[in-house]
């Protein structure tokens, strides 16, 4: 034993230690959202065990996701973490079995009520501090590979794990806020055009009626005969990657291109796809060889790589292309959901339970996103959850009582103490939403 520790005695009686000291910021923010009250009053779900209400179990799942416990079995550590329980407002922390059974028993009606609470908060936050005049919506699909025999998991398009079973959810993000506006958990396999059309309609229905300028972006999966007429009818601006048929390939060779930057050229043409009305297509091409962009480069022709986008935006071709390229942010959001929120770790074999878990993860994502936007300085506005955890949330602390007050003791010389002070001042001024 090292010299300085020869007389060290070990005991296990401390009940107020935690290494999640920064989670009190998230809990305080949830109070400002009035989240516990909303869940308790709007989610009607009969509990066999009266030890925890449905609202408490939902908050426990949200907090464990934000804290970084990727699997339900990992929540065991929080059962003997007294300060964490006090910080998040629970008398005791439910064990993994309780949380899993809760997900398995959650009815479709209860999930609908949870989504209603989430949607109310989404609308409030989108309109806070004022309703925007315009929004940009990014639509995408993602693939969640599963292992074992899970309900509704199917073989389908899976470039990462060919031939493996998977789920295939849809997501929609608002660009300016980076909020997840809408999501849908689906079985495996490509969504049909009708499914994607309905998903877009549902997302548009969640926007305040006072928003008059709506633009959307999507990759080639959203180039569909069901979708373009819908967007034209609703007067929604769009830039969607086109699937290039042989007739379009023949058109590209005869276009007159203009250079808008070194070696990059642009052009446009009108074309009426089968059963479509005539649409405007813009083309940007660059010489080969150059690193391919899997999102935009659909094919090569005569030593050029071509990017073809269908649009109704009244912008020069190169401006439409730049507008679409900004869509890369949604790929980062999905990557963050998979790695930092553990979206790729499917918790049960039940499709309905996995669906509930999926929606709760997106709820947790939005809570963190709102917290960053309203309570953190600019340096942390675009930080990932992994950074937020590492620098703010996963922090050793001790909860003590001083007179009639609770005192959370944090480490001395903590580098980001100024961020804590900043967030606390913001939370103090923030009105209950």
Cα separation, 252 vs 268, whole angstroms: 9
Model confidence at 405, in pLDDT bands (50, 70, 90)? confident
pTM of the full predicted structure?
0.92
Domain stop point among 326, 354, 373: 326
Same domain, 317 and 235: yes
Count other Cβ atoms within 10 Å, centred on residue 251: 18
Model confidence at 413, in pLDDT bands (50, 70, 90)? confident
Model confidence at 156, in pLDDT bands (50, 70, 90)? confident
In a domain, 186, yes or no: no
| 286-323 residues labelled b (16+ CB within 10 A) or e (exposed) | beeeeeeeeebbbeeeeebbbbbbbbbbeeebbebbeb
Same domain, 312 and 351: no
pLDDT tens across 170-220, in order? 999 999 999 999 999 999 989 999 999 999 999 999 999 899 899 999 999
Cα separation, 176 vs 135, whole angstroms: 7
Proportion of the chain above pLDDT 70, given as a percent: 91
Same domain, 407 and 321: no
In a domain, 173, yes or no: no
pLDDT at residue 75 in the model: 79
Same domain, 414 and 317: no
Containing domain of residue 362, as a range? 12-110+346-429
pLDDT over 60 at 297, yes or no: no
In a domain, 162, yes or no: no
pLDDT tens across 350-370, in order? 999 999 999 999 999 999 999
Domain count for the chain: 2
Model confidence at 294, in pLDDT bands (50, 70, 90)? low
Model confidence at 9, in pLDDT bands (50, 70, 90)? low
pLDDT tens across 63-115, in order? 999 998 878 887 777 777 667 777 777 778 888 889 999 999 999 999 999 99
Residues 6+ apart with CB under 8 A from 302: 253
Q: Measured in whole angstroms, how far is the alpha carbon of residue 310 from the centre of its chain?
A: 26
Same domain, 276 and 316: yes
In a domain, 304, yes or no: yes
pLDDT over 50 at 1, yes or no: no
Domain stop point among 270, 293, 326: 326
Model confidence at 373, in pLDDT bands (50, 70, 90)? very high
Same domain, 382 and 308: no
Alpha-carbon distance values, 380 to 24, 315, 351 (Å)? 17, 33, 36
In a domain, 321, yes or no: yes
In a domain, 147, yes or no: no
pLDDT tens across 31-44, in order? 999 999 999 999 98
In a domain, 314, yes or no: yes
Mean of pLDDT over the chain: 89
In a domain, 195, yes or no: no
- Sign of the dihedral through C-alpha 10, 15, 17, 20: positive
* Of 308-317, 374-383, 388-397, 401-410, minimum mean pLDDT range: 401-410
């Amino acid at each position: 034993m090292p010299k300085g520790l020869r007389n060290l005695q070990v005991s296990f009686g401390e009940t107020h230690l935690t290494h999640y000291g920064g989670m009190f910021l998230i809990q305080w923010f949830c109070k400002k959202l009035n989240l516990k009250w909303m869940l308790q009053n709007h989610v009607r779900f009969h509990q066999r065990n009266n030890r925890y209400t449905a609202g408490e179990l939902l908050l426990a799942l949200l907090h464990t996701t934000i804290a970084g416990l990727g699997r339900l079995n990992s929540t065991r550590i929080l059962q003997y973490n007294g300060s964490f329980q006090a910080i998040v407002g629970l008398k005791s922390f439910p064990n993994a079995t309780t949380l899993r059974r809760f997900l398995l028993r959650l009815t479709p009606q209860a999930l609908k009520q949870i989504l209603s609470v989430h949607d109310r908060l989404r609308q409030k936050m989108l309109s806070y501090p004022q309703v925007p005049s315009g929004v940009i919506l990014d639509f995408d699909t993602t693939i969640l590979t599963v292992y074992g025999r899970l309900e509704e998991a199917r073989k389908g398009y899976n470039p990462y794990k060919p031939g493996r079973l998977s789920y295939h959810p849809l997501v929609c993000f608002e660009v300016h806020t980076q909020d997840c506006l809408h999501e849908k958990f689906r079985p495996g396999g490509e969504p049909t055009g009708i499914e994607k059309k309905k998903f877009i309609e549902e997302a548009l229905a969640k926007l305040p009626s006072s928003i008059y300028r709506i633009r959307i972006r999507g990759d080639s999966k959203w180039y569909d005969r069901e979708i373009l007429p819908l967007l034209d009818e609703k007067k929604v601006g769009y830039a969607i990657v086109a699937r290039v048929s042989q007739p379009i390939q023949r058109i590209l060779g005869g276009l007159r291109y203009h250079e808008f930057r070194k070696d990059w050229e642009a052009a446009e043409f009108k074309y009426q796809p089968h059963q479509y009305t005539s649409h405007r297509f813009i083309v940007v091409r660059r010489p080969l060889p150059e690193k391919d962009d899997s999102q935009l480069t659909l094919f090569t022709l005569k030593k050029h790589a071509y990017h073809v986008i269908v649009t109704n935006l009244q912008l020069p071709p190169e401006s439409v292309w730049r507008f679409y390229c900004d869509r890369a942010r949604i790929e980062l959001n999905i990557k963050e959901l998979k790695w930092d929120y553990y979206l790729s770790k499917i918790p049960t074999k039940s499709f309905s339970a996995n669906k509930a878990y999926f929606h709760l993860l997106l709820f947790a994502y939005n809570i963190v996103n709102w917290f960053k936007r309203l309570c953190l300085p600019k340096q942390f506005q675009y930080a990932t959850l992994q950074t937020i955890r590492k620098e703010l949330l996963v922090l050793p602390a001790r909860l003590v009582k001083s007179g009639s007050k609770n005192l959370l003791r944090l480490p001395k010389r903590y580098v980001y103490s100024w961020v804590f002070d900043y967030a606390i001042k913001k939370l103090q001024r923030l009105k209950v939403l």
